[in-house]
Amino acid sequence: MTLAEKIGQMTQAERGAIDADQDQITSLALGSVLSGGGSTPARNTPSGWADMIDGYQSKALATRLHIPLLYGIDSVHGDNNLVGATIFPHNVGLGATRDPGLVEQVEHITATETRATGPQWVFAPCVCVTRDERWGRTYESFGEDPKLVQQMETAIDGFQGDGGRDLARNDRVLATPKHFAGDGDTTYGTSANGTYTIDQGVTITDWEHFARIDLAPYVTAVREHDASSIMPSFSSVQWTDRPGSAPVKMSANKELLTDVLKRKIGFDGFLISDWEAIHQLPGDYATQVRTAVNAGIDMFMEPSSAPQFEQALTAEVQAGRVSLARINDAVGRILTSKFELGLFEHPYTDRTNIGTIGSPQHRAVARQAVAQSQVLLKNSGRALPLKPSQKIYVAGVNANDLGNQAGGWTVTWQGQPGNTSFPGTTILQGIQQVAHDVTYSADASAPTAGSDVGVVVIGETPYAEGVGDVGNGHTLNISAADRANIDKVCGAIRTCVVLDVAGRPQIVTDELSKMDALVMSWLPGSEGAGVADVLFGTKPFTGKLPVSWPRSEAQEPVNVGDRDYQPLFPYGYGLTARR
């Protein structure tokens, strides 16, 4: 391979930057293309995706060496960019299930639906350990305890199957545990990215804590689940046990990327940088490129600056500031994954499983995951389970909003409220499928007289990443509208049940006494009927809190094992309900 061909393999562009001139794939010898959140073909259908990616692939195969393209996508709770895909609960809900086998099944379905449309690589799962619920990515974490995260890393097996041996199958994809390491453990107020408050901030820690909390999931990912690619974090680490330590961005941290992850832990896959992550490093662009390559990053997500990246890295190698050995190491790691994926033999999309996308069988598994994720936090007077014969009054926008119940990373990066973006069943529709007499009023303005039970569905609207950070237009406190609905419904109807549809615990301390039952529903995705399954006792409540539930926003961070541990509901809490 020529130097240009090698550096091409290390370069990843976003489809939006190359779609109008696809010959760039050939001229730049690109190794990879990705779809960012919400970046879709004009026809956002399974065949639309497959046709688009196969078109890109033909341009890669027109290069001198015919090296196939690796296409990456954020399938973080199903193939969530695709309209019609099965949308599963986000990771925090899956963590509540405490069911590693179910998580593996969920991600196997995600892999099947994803690869049938062309992408062979997913930027998932997030094996972050969330330590502060003010973080806008809390819902991407399985929980606050690294042991729970490690248990849920069966997600990697669901994506990849049995390591490199299964990757060539048409129902498997390359997984990417992320974000190495400490992204869920940053200190509030340390983010320097625009208006973010905690996402992409600084993990201020000593080595013992970092190894036990933040690094542990990656040891498991590499040694037990054969992770083939890993994405370093936007965040930084600052050591408290090293005098004079300054924050170092993970993309520049050779000690952690090369000495610890690759050499000590034994990671032999490749590292993919996050979206323009190297642009946050000190110095000019050439310095940023040189620093990140020498730190150990192998492939570079440079969505709109692939030509500039290739020029800069070429100049750095020619000047002797990046060794050819480092380039060869990176390219060898990338090509190994392409061989394991079977792309050299079968570069184009195998569409055999395209008919399974959003199938009843797949949605049934999602519905089961929803049911198992529900956490019963309060149940006075045996308010739950409900009876189909009861007259049920349902209030709250989130009762009948697919977009809100799916959250961020759904069709678009930030997600969107409403019921028109993708197919599914709302929580209200799930209740209506069981109960005989249901009244729905989003703002609780309809008359409540004659109702046996009120169901108030509160919660958040969609967000993703640091956009959802508390202090960046968001809060853990419930909205005034939700508070008013609780006051009205719980004050007028004898039995009152509250469901919280959110990506993290919300502050309900002052409202708790007003309700008979409280259920944390998380972000269930497309199958809201799974919530009704436990409300009516068709399936039992088995979910347990994967995070501690704070009494107030000011109590964060609060985590199991803290010296003064007094949350409203402790980690692992969850009741059962019997008739």
Indicate if 378 and 337 belong to the same structural domain.
no
Residue 156's identity, in one-letter code, is I
Residue 163 confidence (pLDDT) above 80: no
DSSP letters of 305-360? -HHHHHHHHHHHHHTTSS-HHHHHHHHHHHHHHHHHTTTTT--S---TTGGGTT-H
325 pLDDT higher than 80: yes
**Which pLDDT does position 577 carry in this prediction?**
80
Q: What is the pLDDT of residue 506?
A: 98
Please give the positions annotated as active site.
274, 465
pLDDT at residue 578 in the model: 67
Q: Are 494 and 472 in contact (CB under 8 A)?
A: no
Q: Which helix (H) or strand (E) holds 151?
A: helix 146-151
Same-domain pairing of 333 and 378: no
Tell me if 219 is assigned to some domain. Answer: yes
Residues 152 and 221 grouped into a single domain: yes
**513 within a domain of the structure (yes/no):** yes
What pLDDT score does 551 carry?
A: 98
Q: Which residues pair with 301 in a beta bridge?
A: 12
| Same domain as 450, residue 320 | no
566 falls within a domain: no
Cα–Cα distance for residue pair 189/202, rounded to 1 Å: 9
Token readout for 92 is 């925090």
If one counts the domains in the chain, the total is 2
Looking at the structure, tell me whether residues 330 and 395 fall in a common domain: no
Q: Which two tokens stand for residue 579?
A: 């008739």
Q: Do both 388 and 445 map to the same domain?
A: yes
Report the relative pairing of strands 32-35 and 11-14 from DSSP bridges. Answer: parallel
pLDDT digits (tens, 9 = 90+) for 519-536: 999 999 999 999 999 999
Residue 352 lies in a domain: no
Q: Which CA distances in Å does 539 have to 384, 386, 394, 455, 528?
A: 12, 12, 21, 18, 14
The whole-angstrom separation of Cα 533 and Cα 528 is 9
Total Cβ atoms within 10 A of residue 35: 22
CATH number of the domain that residue 149 is part of: 3.20.20.300
Q: Is residue 151, in this structure, part of any structural domain at all?
A: yes
Residue 271 covered by a domain: yes
Q: Give me the phi and psi of 439, to 5 degrees please.
A: -110, 130
Instruction: Based on the fold, state whether residues 12 and 152 are members of the same structural domain.
Output: yes
Q: Tell which of 300, 320, 341 closes a domain.
A: 341
d(CA 410, CA 422): 9
Query: Hey, is 410 helix, strand or coil?
Result: strand
* Cut 0.85: pTM above it: yes
Do 319 and 380 lie in a common domain? no
CATH number at residue 464: 3.40.50.1700
Structural element, H or E, at residue 429? helix 427-432
Tens-digit pLDDT profile for residues 480-519: 999 999 999 999 999 999 999 999 999 999 999 999 999 9
- Other beta carbons within 10 angstroms of residue 65's beta carbon come to 12
Q: Is the domain of 34 the same as that of 183?
A: yes
Structure tokens that stand for 547 in this block: 């995070």
Domain carrying residue 309: 3-341
Residue 392 has pLDDT above 60, yes or no: yes
The answer to whether residue 363 is domain-embedded is no
Q: Are residues 84 and 192 in the same domain?
A: yes
> What is the percentage of the chain residues whose pLDDT exceeds 90?
99
Per-residue pLDDT tens over the stretch 351-362: 999 999 999 999
The verdict on residue 347 lying in a domain is: no
| Cis ω before 181 (30° cut-off from 0) | yes
Name the average pLDDT for the chain: 98
Q: Which of 80, 20, 42, 187 is nearest to 408 (CA)?
A: 80
Q: How confident is the model at residue 66 (pLDDT cuts 50, 70, 90)?
A: very high
Residues 125 and 184 grouped into a single domain? yes
Q: Note whether 101 and 226 are same-domain residues.
A: yes
Q: Residue 459 contacts by C-beta under 8 Å, 6 or more apart in sequence?
A: 396, 398, 404, 482, 499, 500, 501, 502, 506, 521
Average pLDDT on 85-112 reads 98
Domain boundary among 286, 318, 341: 341
- Tens of pLDDT, residues 196-253: 999 999 999 999 999 999 999 999 999 999 999 999 999 999 999 999 999 999 999 9
Best CA proximity match to 371, nearest among 83, 577, 573: 577
What pLDDT, in 10s, does the model give residues 256-301?
999 999 999 999 999 999 999 999 999 999 999 999 999 999 999 9
